[in-house]
Amino acid sequence: MASLKQLSSKKELLTGGHRLCAGCGASIIVRQVLLAADTPVVVAASTGCLEVATSIFPYTAWRCSFIHCAFENAASTLSGVETAYRALKKKGKIDQDMRFIAFSGDGGTYDIGIQALSGACERGHRMLYVCYDNQAYMNTGIQRSSATPLGAATTTSPAGKVLPGKTQNRKDLTEIIAAHHIPYVAQASPSRWNDLVSKAQRALQAEGPSFMNVLSPCPRGWRYPPNETIKMAQLAVDTCIWPLYEVVEDKWRLTYRPKQKPPVEEWLKAQGRFAHLFKGDNQQVIEQLQAEVDRRWEELLEKTS
Amino acid sequence: MGNLISMEGNQAAAEAMRQINPDAMAAYPITPQTEVVQTFAQFVADGRVDTEFVTVESEHSAMSACVAAAASGTRVMTATSANGMALMWEILYIAASTRLPIVMALVNRALSANINIHCDHSDSMGARDTGWIQLFCENGQEAYDSLIQAVRIAEHPQVRLPVMVCYDGFIISHAVECLELLNDKEVQKFIGEFKPVNSLLDISHPYTFGPLDLYDFYFEHKRQQIEAYGPAKRVVVEIGKQFATLSGREYGLFEAYRLQDAQLAIVLMGSAAGTAKEAVDRLRANGLPIGVLKLRAFRPFPSEELTQLLSRFEAVAVLDRAVSFGAAAGPLFTEISSALFASNRRPLLVNYIYGLGGRDIDIEDIQEVGEKLKKTAESGKVEQPFDYIGVRK
């Protein structure tokens, strides 16, 4: 792992001047991941905030080659790039060592893109797929996805007179991808930049598909001030809503254990999307969420012990 | 002179792909295309091609991988049918609008529901507006020949568009024919080396594919794309002529069969053109001045050329193997009548729908079309503009 000073002197592949919102987690994550690359990379992105904000014709914020095809196919698109690379390398038309990285939101990964991602993992393309998980369809205006936590109010799971926001728990995508038994799977947070960059380095070294699920706080969708993104990510890590771990060649390892495990309320009360949970009879939703977080944390501890 | 060999249409298509030896192929099996994929997979397994073969988990991913591999500077092919291409639909537009020279064998099959694995052209017609060049074939020989030409057409600097080579499911794909194949070296020499304009893998020239393109530029990009189909028409003819010097078989935008001295014409595409030629021969023997116009290029549609050719006719029957639900007529008829409307002189036009879901069409059926066409021409008016062939009420 390079020092922060060394990393800060590296030429960044995502330039400033893109049009992501102030406080967006996605650009922070992209920059941290790309700092881990020590070869040329090609980036693929699915339709979403990152894509629309970084490649508005006739401009591009990408210093490396970049392809956006559609919403549900970042994984199959990148597998096409990686296939072309192997074809041209075999024929001696390319000799440069290169890496291939996909960035996609939770909508494009957990939901509409899961088939393409699963297929690419099974086929074994050497590529890193990074999900920047902001826990809803933020680009279309905050609709619930299967990554949205229980109780969160979104525009398609609003809090109303009879419903307390989303009524289902979130899908555990990281574990689903780990079940593909690919060389490297990790969960990371931009608040632990050192952990994230190290994981991206290991992912890029893996001789096959690798996957990183990175929590990407969204000031607009989560309803918190834009200067609190990193705080919001770290609170999720500390409350064990977003545990940090990796699965290397099927070996599970916790990469960060919170010193204290504050109640999930600490994270919930900092965000407007959960404000309704602190009113009326909704306290039970917080208890349900806490129970689910505890259960999954215990399971993870068992897997990583 | 090539080698004479008997093989099924799908094997011929796979053979063309082997000789083309693309850098990459991404495909998913679907009846009646499956044999193309599995034959090609065997070529890969036996080391007879250098192709990186991606066995994707869906047609959507097949076309997505093709788009990306083509954007990465490789020569790319795929094959599909019916529902498979319907699943690709979103990405078909992206392939064409990104100007990527992908070549696809489309083994024509009916779309669901109800599910039916046999031939009609509803899959091609559903994709007619996606921006792909669409070439229709009468038999396995044409499928083989057209796939080889398609590489040149797609990659031509003035075209840079994907091409689908359409041939009828089962009727062509599973029928054994005697074909004349070129040898591998001839094919390689004819197609030459692929020289991409931009490539994701050219690290000294980073390139952004698929940007957000709003009201300030999107329209100009669409105009550029629209204007590419003019050159595409010329290139289809030019490559067809070049292919003739190699093979003795010439191809163009369409084939005019016994039309020169005809007053009546039957217009259609695909394998039924062979049936129509036989029907026309029989009608001619009875003194009917009739011929066949077999359309090869549905996209780019040769409007001016067809207007020039057909406007002098007394009556023309257009046979559609697909429907546009809710429209007044089949898609081929709509194109032909719209092209002819620009002419001062127009033939009487009638439209027939035939062969949906693999329903056979016989020589006698088409003879009957010819006889009726004669009566239409004699009476000088169209009694029934729209009818079916071979369907129960």
**Contact B360/A at CB under 8 A:** no
Does A251 score more than 90 pLDDT? Answer: yes
Q: Which residues pair with A186 in a beta bridge?
A: A212, A246
CB contact, 8 Å: A86 with chain B? yes
Please name the member of A51, A62, A90 whose beta carbon is closest to the beta carbon of B206: A62
- What number is the average pLDDT over the span A202-213? 98
Q: Which of residues 186-215 of B touch A (CB under 8 A)?
A: 200-203, 206-214
Q: Is some CB atom of chain A closer than 8 A to the CB atom of B130?
A: no
CB contact under 8 A, A80 and B65: yes
**Mean per-residue pLDDT for B329-348?**
96
Nearest CA in chain A to B55: A123
* Separation CA B40–CA B63 (nearest Å): 17
Topology of domain A11-147+173-270, per CATH?
Rossmann fold (3.40.50)
Model pLDDT, residue B290:
98
For A67, the closest of B74, B90, B200 (CB atoms) is B200
Residue A253's DSSP bridge partners are A246
Residue B29's alpha-carbon distances to B13, B48, B49, in angstroms, are 15, 20, 19
Using one digit for the tens of pLDDT, what is the confidence trace for B343-374?
A: 999 999 999 999 999 999 999 999 999 999 99
B20-51 residues labelled b (16+ CB within 10 A) or e (exposed): bbbbbbbbbbbbbbbbbbebbbebbeeeebeb
pLDDT score of B387 more than 70:
yes
**Which residues have CB under 8 Å from A232's CB, separation 6+?**
A217, A222, A224, A267, A270, A271
Residue A126 CB: number of other CB atoms within 10 A?
A: 18
- Radius of gyration (C-alpha) of chain A in whole angstroms: 19
Q: How far apart are CA B40 and CA B28, in angstroms?
A: 12
The CATH topology of domain B3-195+220-247 is: Rossmann fold (3.40.50)
* Contact state of B61 with A73 under an 8 Å Cβ cutoff: yes
Average pLDDT of the residues in B94-101: 98
Q: What is the mean pLDDT of chain B?
A: 97
Looking at the complex, does the CB of residue A180 fall below 8 Å from at least one CB of chain B?
Answer: no
Considering only CB atoms, A87 lies closest to which of B68, B74, B203, namely B74
Write out the residue limits of the CATH 3.40.50.920 domain(s) in chain B: 254-389
Question: Which chain A residues touch B201 with a CB distance below 8 Å?
Answer: 42, 65, 81, 84-85, 88, 94, 98
Is A70 in Cβ contact with B90 (below 8 Å)? yes
What mean pLDDT do residues B288-302 have? Answer: 98
pLDDT reported for residue B3: 83
Q: Are A77 and B67 inside 8 Å of each other by CB?
A: yes
- Mutate which of A52, A69, A86 to test chain B, going by most B C-beta atoms within 10 A? A69
Segment A175-179 mean pLDDT: 98
B165 backbone φψ class: left, alpha, beta (φ>0; ψ -120 to 50)? beta
Span A134-157, mean pLDDT? Answer: 98
Cβ neighbours of B214 in A, within 8 Å: 56-57
pLDDT single digits (tens) B49-59? 999 999 999 99
- B47 interfaces chain A, CB cutoff of 8 Å: no
Summarised one tens digit per residue, pLDDT across range A76-93 is 999 999 999 999 999 999
Q: What is the mean pLDDT of residues A181-210?
A: 98
Is the pLDDT confidence value at A129 over 70? yes
- Are B211 and A55 a contacting pair at CB < 8 A? yes
Please, which pLDDT band fits residue B1 given cuts at 50, 70 and 90? low
Half-sphere CA count of A175, side-chain side, radius 13 A: 12
Nearest partner of B108 among B77, B85, B140, B131, judged by Cα: B85
Which candidate, B103, B64, B235, places its Cα nearest to that of A46?
B64
pLDDT of residue A4: 87
- Which residues, other chains included, contact A238 with Cβ-Cβ below 8 Å and sequence gap of 6+? A258, A260, A261, A262, A266
Q: How far does A241 lie from chain B, in Å, by closest CA?
A: 32
Find residues 18-47 of chain A whose CB sits inside 8 Å of chain B.
40, 42, 44
Compute the nearest-CA separation of A296 from chain B (Å): 31
Residue range B249-271: average pLDDT?
98
Q: Which residues contact B118 (CB under 8 A, 6 or more apart)?
A: B32, B109, B110, B169, B170, B357, B358
Q: How far apart are CA B332 and CA B321, in angstroms?
A: 9
> What percent of chain A shows pLDDT beyond 70?
100
**B235 CA to chain A: closest CA distance, Å?**
27
Task: Answer whether CATH 1.10.287.3510 is correct for domain B254-389.
Answer: no
Interface contact B380, partner A, CB < 8 A: no
The CATH 3.40.50.970 portion of chain B extends over 3-195+220-247
Place of tokens 């009524």: A167
3-state DSSP assignment of residue B212: strand
Cα(B336)–Cα(B354) distance, integer angstroms: 17
Judging contacts by C-beta atoms under 8 Å, the chain B residues touching residue A40 are 203
Mean pLDDT rounded to a whole number for chain A = 97
For the segment A206-212, the average pLDDT, to the nearest whole number, is 98
Task: Return the pLDDT at B2.
Answer: 62
**Is B326's pLDDT higher than 70?**
yes
Nearest to A79 among B23, B65, B217 (CB): B65
pLDDT confidence of residue A3: 86
How far is the alpha carbon of A66 from chain B, nearest alpha carbon, in Å?
5
Give me the residue spans of the domains in chain A: 11-147+173-270
Q: Is B44 on the interface with A (CB under 8 A)?
A: no
Answer whether B200 sits within 8 Å of A65, measured CB to CB.
yes
Contact (CB, 8 A) for B190 and B246 = yes
Please tell me whether residue B157 adopts helix, strand or coil conformation: coil
Average pLDDT over residues B89-107: 98
User: Within an 8 Å CB–CB cutoff, is residue A122 touching chain B?
Assistant: yes
Is residue B224 very low, low, confident or very high in pLDDT (cuts 50, 70, 90)?
very high
Give the residue from chain A lying closest to B221, CA to CA: A57
Instruction: Give yes or no for residue A1 having a pLDDT over 80.
Output: no
For position A2, what pLDDT does the model report? 75
